[in-house]
Amino acid sequence: MSAETPVKLTHNEDIKAAIPTLAGTIAATIADTATDHFSEDDNQFLKFHGSYQQDDRDLRKTGKKYIMMIRGRIPGGVMTAKQYGVFDTLATQYGNNTLRITTRQSIQFHGVVKNNLRPVVKAINESLLSTLAACGDVNRNVLAPPTPAYTKAREQVYADAHKVALALAPQTKAYHSIWIDGEQLDLEKAENKNFVDPLYGKTYLPRKFKIAFVIPPVNDLDVFTNCLGLIAIVENDRLVGYNLAVGGGMGRSHGNEHTYPRLADVIGFFTPDKIVDVAKAVLTIHRDFGDRTDRKHARLKYVIAERGADWARTEIEKRAGLTLASAKPYQFTTTSDLLDWRKAVDGSWFLGLFVESGRIKDAGSYKLKTALRHVADAFDKVEFRLTANQNIILANVSEEDKHPINMLLAAYGVKTEKQTSVLHAASMSCPSLPTCGLGLAESERMLPGLIDRIEKLCAEVGLAGEEIIIRSTGCPNGCARPYMAEIGFVGKAPGRYQVWLGANATGTRLNRVWKDMMKEADIETEFRPVLSRFVKERNRGERFGDWCDRVFLKEHATAAN
Ligand code: SF4
């Protein structure tokens, strides 16, 4: 682009600049109970408030039925029993009677009609959580280690995650005014008329921004898939600082080579007292250098990829007023959650519960939703922790409460040991159809059945009980991190998937495309020869993803050239 070429900003940039309070005309549309949906511009503002306008795609043939998705902002995924109870009530009363755990340690509701949106958001705020900045061009829900098992330093890391979430929250008064007071923000008031967010400015970020804190050796938050990754360095149970990783992200678009998944670069180490300065420095680099002309190319990862890690280090040091030390040694051994009962470092118990695709619901004799609600009502000291693998941990359980909780869960068909097979436990999917407007193929409704089929195939070729991380998404945006799976299915068209192979189990290697398009019906035919070869050719203890990376994908690349 020459210096004279006028820069055409995206429409989102224009509307943010025109209304930096993000109020849009949301309050007026809420007040108009005769309409069932928001305008397209208000839909963009709504995202900052934590909601997406969707429609039920199963019903499109008979007409458009608007429904809202609402997502909580729950730093580190930690909820009190009381807060969980509030979310459960809202799902029953206003949603589709399910709670969906997201890959960013949050809960989202699906199927809320427009006129019920305000009661839901208001009740979430009254429970002392929020939905502000759960979506939109801002810092999203901050991830923090959910597992209480390893080290006392978790408390400090969790406190830092909270501090960062607070420091990076947008300051607009429109949120409170619309959802809590039920009023249109008075735009004639000077403070609203001239509002500019002190951190984000008038136009916020070019796109979303994601942060994760993680404590090695557990990488249960896939830290390198975040714009900003903070790898806690713990010595003698004490947090000494963080290795700083910048520029990760999953999203891409089919057929657009300027978009790709990327792992964050580790660029240095700093002490915990600088945590907010560093977070603001990285976020403002995204704000100032991110692409505002193309939303598909507007993530921080492209800024880092194109300008380089050395440039990023210098810029962060300048903005945060520090000198980064060399990164400290660390090692990851797993990205999985700990399921079943375990003892935490403080002597209390915690229970990791598998939740298929993150969907908390009642289905036949397996009544997970009802069971968890009873736990929340009866055990007020139990903490509900959402994991980035879409599972739930019941933490802070005393020795004497362990048995009654087991009994209660069992009464509703929820097991606390041997909860599922290894393949199901290692799987993850995004919601896609029927709620997500971007879904090109099924994901959540397809994956459990597909895992059953792959399980059968594994047993056939001599791989029964073998863990393989399998993830699916309905489109290339990658909400369930399919590019970090040993087998990733990425929707291309109804019943057709791009297939990616070869990531590792510690979250430090991306997978690569094997098949650009595979029919769901052909899974057995396509995978049987590959899995059979793996059985014969693997090194002792070698995982499927590692063998694909070492042998199979190399051959595949050579054959393709
Ligand atoms: Fe929707 Fe795509 Fe995200 Fe799935 S990956 S929820 S289809 S945007």
Cα 477 to averaged position of ligand 1 atoms, centre (Å): 6
- CA terminus-to-terminus distance, the chain: 33
Closest residue by Cα to atom 3, ligand 1, is 479
Cα 437 to averaged position of ligand 1 atoms, centre (Å): 8
Mean pLDDT of the chain: 96
Cα 35 to averaged position of ligand 1 atoms, centre (Å): 27
pLDDT score for 5: 66
Q: Cα dist. 481→73, 105, 473, 484 in Å?
A: 20, 14, 8, 6
Which atom of ligand 1 approaches the CA of 482 most closely? Answer: 5
pLDDT digits (tens, 9 = 90+) for 262-299: 999 999 999 999 999 999 999 999 999 999 999 999 99
Mean per-residue pLDDT, 368-383: 98
pLDDT score for 455: 98
pLDDT digits (tens, 9 = 90+) for 389-403: 999 999 999 999 999
Active site residues: 71, 140, 208, 210, 430, 436, 475, 479
Mean per-residue pLDDT, 469-480: 98
Which atom of ligand 1 approaches the CA of 475 most closely? Answer: 2
pLDDT score for 61: 86
Cα 266 to averaged position of ligand 1 atoms, centre (Å): 28
Check whether 330 has a pLDDT greater than 70: yes
CATH pick for 424-560 out of 3.30.413.10, 3.10.520.10, 3.40.50.10470, 1.10.10.10 = 3.30.413.10
pLDDT digits (tens, 9 = 90+) for 552-561: 999 988 887 7
Cα 346 to averaged position of ligand 1 atoms, centre (Å): 38
Which atom of ligand 1 approaches the CA of 440 most closely? Answer: 7
Mean per-residue pLDDT, 241-266: 97
CATH 3.90.480.10 domain range(s) in the chain:
340-420
Residues within a 6 A CB radius of ligand 1: 430-432, 436, 438-439, 443, 473-475, 477-479
pLDDT score for 148: 75
Question: Which CATH number applies to 340-420?
Answer: 3.90.480.10
C-alpha span between 396 and 346 (Å, rounded): 9
Which atom of ligand 1 approaches the CA of 474 most closely? Answer: 7
| Contact between 499 and 488 (Cβ < 8 Å) | yes
CATH 3.30.413.10 domain range(s) in the chain:
424-560
pLDDT digits (tens, 9 = 90+) for 425-436: 999 999 999 999
Check whether 186 has a pLDDT greater than 70: yes
pLDDT score for 150: 77
**Confidence at 4, pLDDT banded by 50, 70, 90:** low
pLDDT score for 3: 52
- CA count, 13 A, side-chain hemisphere, 251: 17
Ligand 1 pocket test: pick from 473, 490, 498 the residue with the most ligand atoms within 8 Å of its Cβ: 473
Check whether 41 has a pLDDT greater than 50: yes
The alpha carbon of residue 416 and the mean position of all alpha carbons in its chain are separated, in whole angstroms, by: 25
pLDDT digits (tens, 9 = 90+) for 121-157: 999 999 999 999 999 999 999 999 998 777 899 999 9
